[in-house]
Amino acid sequence: MSFFKKLKDSIASKAEAVTSVFKEGLSKTRSAIVEKVEELITRRKKIDEEFYEELEEILIGADVGVTTVMKLIDELRAEVKARKIEQAAELQPILSEKLVGLLKGGGDPGLNMSADGITVYLFVGVNGVGKTTTIGKLAHKFKSEGKNVLLAAGDTFRAGAIEQLEVWGQRVGVDVIKQQSGSDPAAVMFDAVQAAKQRQVDVLLCDTAGRLQNKTNLMEELNKIFRVIQRELPDAPHEVLLVLDATTGQNALSQAKLFGEKSGVTGLVLTKLDGTAKGGIVIAIRNELNLPVKLVGLGEKMGDLQEFDSEQFVHALFAGLIQQETAADDAEESR
C-alpha cells in the first residue's frame, strides 16, 4: 500500500465538513507548495543540483523556513543516495512523506480544559493579528457546544479594543466584562474571574494588551494578570495562546520565538491561513519551536476557526496527489 493510500485511510473517519474547511482554507498554500513541486518534477526529470536549488526556493518561498528546508533537503539527498534514485518523479512521494512527518511531529495536543470548574484562556499577541476575532470565534465555538462563556476585555490600552470585543460579544451572544479605557488590566481580570464564579461560567476568554513583544512592561502586565487569576483559580490559566498572523510568515515565527521565551505561551493560534500562500509557516513553527499549533483560522466565517489537526492539514495540502495516487493503487489492486 502506498504512502498516500495509508494517509487517506488514516483520516477516512474524519468529518468531511472539517476536511472541506481545511481544503478551502489552504488552497493558496497548496498552489505554492504542491503544484509548484509537481511542475518542477515534470519539467526537470533528473535530480541534480539545480533541481535541489529550485526545490529549496519553492519551500522557502512558502515560508517553510530556511532551517527546516535545509534539514529537509539534506534528508532528501541522503534518501536519493541510499535508494539510488535518479528520476525526479520517484522523489515526489518521499518529499511528501517527509513533509507529513514534519507536520505531524509531536502530535496534536488539543486545547487544555479544566477538569472541574472554570477554564481560563489568556490571549496574547501584537496588535492587528486577529486576536479579538479569534476570541469571538472561539466563544462562538464553545457556546455552540453548550458551554457558558464569558469574555474579559483586558486590552485596555488600544483605542477601540474594548468596543471591538463588545461587538463580538453581542454577535455571539456572550457577556463582556470591562472597565474604562486605560484601566488596570489585572483589575479587569479580577472582576472577570469573580463574575465567572458567580455566573457558574464554563469558559473565560481573556484579551490582553497587544504591545510590542520586546517591551518589559508587557511582561510585567502579564505577570500581574497571572497572579490575580491564580490567586482566585490556582490551576488557571489553562492556556496562554499566542495569536499570529500567518500572512506575515517569518515575522510570525520571530514573534513566536520572542513571546515564547518571555510569556509562558502554551500554544499558538495561526490566523488568516486562507489569505496566504505562506502556510508553510506551520511546518516551520512546528519544527523550530517547542510550541504546538492549537488553532488555525481558515476563513472569514464564524466556523472557520478550527482546532489544528495535522492529518486534516496534510490531507488538504496534498489532496490532489492523494486522489491521483489512491486511484492508481485501486487500479493496481483490481488487476
Annotated binding site: 125-132, 207-211, 271-274
Structural domain includes residue 320: no
Numbered residues of the known binding site for GTP: 125-132, 207-211, 271-274
| Tens digits of residue pLDDT in 156-194 | 888 789 999 999 999 999 999 999 988 899 999 999 999
In a domain, 297, yes or no: yes
Give residue-wise pLDDT tens across range 56-84.
Answer: 999 888 888 888 899 999 999 999 999 88
Least confident piece of the model among 25-34, 102-111, 233-242, 244-253: 102-111
Q: 37 lies in a domain? A: no
Domain contains 263: yes
From residue 71, how far is each of 66, 98, 284 by CA, in Å?
9, 10, 11
Residue with cell 508553510: 280
CATH of the domain at 237: 3.40.50.300
Position 323 pLDDT exceeds 50: no
CB 218 within 8 A of CB 264: no
Mean pLDDT of 236-242: 93
Full domain range(s) for residue 193: 119-314
Residue 244 lies in a domain: yes
* 271: β partners: 245
Instruction: List C-alpha distances in Å: 298 to 20, 98, 155.
Output: 10, 24, 25
Reported pTM: 0.84
Structure confidence at residue 335 as a pLDDT band (50, 70, 90): low
- Report the percent of the chain where pLDDT is more than 90: 37
Residue 279: φ, ψ to 5°: -65, -10
Residue 140 in domain = yes
> Contact, 19 vs 316, CB < 8 A?
yes
Could you tell me the CA-to-CA distances from 78 to 73, 74, 81, 90 in Å, in that order? Answer: 9, 6, 5, 14
pLDDT reading at 203 higher than 90: yes
Question: Structural domain tally of the chain?
Answer: 1
> Is 61 within a domain?
no
- Determine, yes or no, domain membership for 108: no
Give the span between the Cα atoms of 118 and 200, in whole angstroms: 8
- 3-class secondary structure per residue, the chain: CCHHHHHHHHCCCCCHHHHHHHHHHCHHHHHHHHHHHHHHHHHHCECCHHHHHHHHHHHHHCCCCHHHHHHHHHHHHHHHHHHCCCEHHHHHHHHHHHHHHHHHCCCCCCCCCCCCCCEEEEEECCCCCCHHHHHHHHHHHHHHCCCCEEEEEECCCCCCHHHHHHHHHHHHCCEEECCCCCCCHHHHHHHHHHHHHHCCCCEEEEEECCCCCCCHHHHHHHHHHHHHHHHHCCCCCCEEEEEEEHHHCHHHHHHHHHHHHHCCCCEEEEECHHHCCCCCHHHHHHHHCCCCEEEEECCCCHHHEEECCHHHHHHHHCHHHHHHHHHHHHHHHHC
pLDDT tens-digit series, residues 105-149 = 666 788 999 988 999 999 998 888 889 999 999 999 999 999 999
Q: What letter represents residue 153's amino acid?
A: A
